[in-house]
Amino acid sequence: MKIVFTGGGTGGHFYPIIAVAEKINEIIEERKLINVEMFFFSDQAYDEKALFKENVEFVKINSGKWRRYFSLRNFTDSLKIAKGMFSALWQLYSIYPDIVFSKGGYASLPTVWAARILRIPIFIHESDSRPGRVSLWSARFAKRIAVSYESAIEHFKIEDKGKIAVTGNPIRALIQLPLDKGAREFLNLSDDHPVIFITGGSQGAMAINDVVLDILPQLLERYNVIHQVGKENMEDVKLRSQVVVEKNQDRYKLFDFLNESAMRMVAGVSRLAISRAGSFIFELAIWGTPSIIIPIPEVVSHDQSSNAFAYARTGAAVVIEQENLLSSVLLAEINHLMDNSTLLSEMSAAAKQFARPGAARKIGDELVNIALTHEK
């Protein structure tokens, strides 16, 4: 049995794939399956250690990104997409898997196109409340469609809605288990001030970082701040934070990237999180962490605003749109929430109710069942 995963570009696409691969390895052990091979087709490996751990082989497939706004790079990237399609066709034909699992996004297009040509079953998962263009196109010939938000179903213009299931978002097993014991020591938090976690996603977000730096002295008077900024932004934020913070610097913990263990520690100690509106919403939900969600502007990403407001309607979060992201607004919202323990408890309960912790297993079971049928 051979399974190909495709997607990538961000951690929001990549780590759900790892979560599903993790469950497939469990299924392999439980069912005593043999000769199972898994591959990841994308333009970058993203996290080679995670792939190695789950016995997934990386196959490089170049692809380009078609932007929603005018850019000369759209013309050059269209050539990359065409080249990637033929590369994916050859690689898929050589492997000839029993199923292709797509997380959508620009990096998945060549592989899904090739799978359709070769009549290989396609299973897609859509994390956003408004599906992306690749997922909408793929849905017309996909065998199964899994979605994280129920509201996503209406966007798929297909006759057979019965092949769509609301599963939630696949999350790695360990990430689902926050660690509070020893977390303050691990994160080098020097006192018992409440903790706020701020992240712009795996790549960081300078729009959020800029506003946070503006109010950092005020935040550190009352809170410990764990700030994940992305590798490309690390040096800039580090230098700027040293300038603006004169005291309480020991309460500011700056990270470019948080691995699985560190993320569990952060989950264990944080009373409030500030985040973009990608797949990280589902990790916050499973932890029961109240949040302030700042979606990427709609002109750049059509899905994040929809995600943010869909999640906020559950009562688990509040939304500040980036055009309204003033330093005074963010500081006032943080203090309002942190001063209201009853509200934070209600938000935490709403988050946990939104979470669907079994998504990876449900998807893994269905992938294996379809693959075994195709193999026969």
- Please report, rounded to a whole number, the percentage of residues in the chain having pLDDT higher than 90: 79
Condensed to tens digits (0 to 9), the pLDDT of residues 32-52 reads 999 999 999 999 999 999 999
Condensed to tens digits (0 to 9), the pLDDT of residues 62-92 reads 875 655 545 555 556 667 778 889 999 999 9
- Residue of higher predicted confidence among 65 and 316: 316
Between CA 364 and CA 20 the distance in angstroms is 6
- Please report, rounded to a whole number, the percentage of residues in the chain having pLDDT higher than 70: 93
Question: Are residues 346 and 198 both part of a single domain?
Answer: yes
Question: Are residues 284 and 155 both part of a single domain?
Answer: no
For 84-211, strand residue ranges (E) read: 99-102, 122-126, 144-147, 164-166, 195-199
Question: Are residues 190 and 328 both part of a single domain?
Answer: yes
Closest CA to 5 of 111, 84, 90: 111
Question: Are residues 198 and 127 both part of a single domain?
Answer: no
Question: Are residues 149 and 203 both part of a single domain?
Answer: no
Question: Are residues 233 and 106 both part of a single domain?
Answer: no
Condensed to tens digits (0 to 9), the pLDDT of residues 178-207 reads 998 889 999 999 778 999 999 986 555 889
Give the lowest-confidence range in 8-12, 106-110, 231-235, 348-352: 8-12
- Four-CA torsion 96, 100, 102, 106, nearest 10 degrees: 20
- Residue of higher predicted confidence among 98 and 80: 98
DSSP 267-309: HHHEEEEEE-SSTHHHHHHHHT--EEE-PPPTTT-TTHHHHHH
Q: Where does the pLDDT of residue 231 fall: very low under 50, low under 70, confident under 90, or very high at 90 and above?
A: confident
Domain count within the chain: 2
Look at residue 84 in the predicted model and tell me its pLDDT. Answer: 85
Question: Are residues 143 and 53 both part of a single domain?
Answer: yes
- Four-CA torsion 49, 281, 306, 62, nearest 10 degrees: 0
Residue 279 has pLDDT above 60, yes or no: yes
Question: Are residues 264 and 226 both part of a single domain?
Answer: yes
Question: Are residues 102 and 17 both part of a single domain?
Answer: yes
Looking up residue 81, the CATH number of its domain turns out to be: 3.40.50.2000
Beta bridge partners of 140: none
Question: Are residues 323 and 366 both part of a single domain?
Answer: no
Query: pTM for the complete prediction?
Result: 0.90
Can you say whether the dihedral through the CA atoms of 220, 222, 227, 233 is positive or negative?
A: negative
Question: Are residues 75 and 92 both part of a single domain?
Answer: yes
Question: Are residues 96 and 196 both part of a single domain?
Answer: no
Q: Which domain holds residue 78?
A: 2-170+357-375
3-state secondary structure 127-174: CCCCCCHHHHHHHCCCCEEEECCHHHHHHCCCCCHHHEEECCCCCCCH
Between CA 59 and CA 17 the distance in angstroms is 15
The whole-number average pLDDT for the span 27-32 is 97
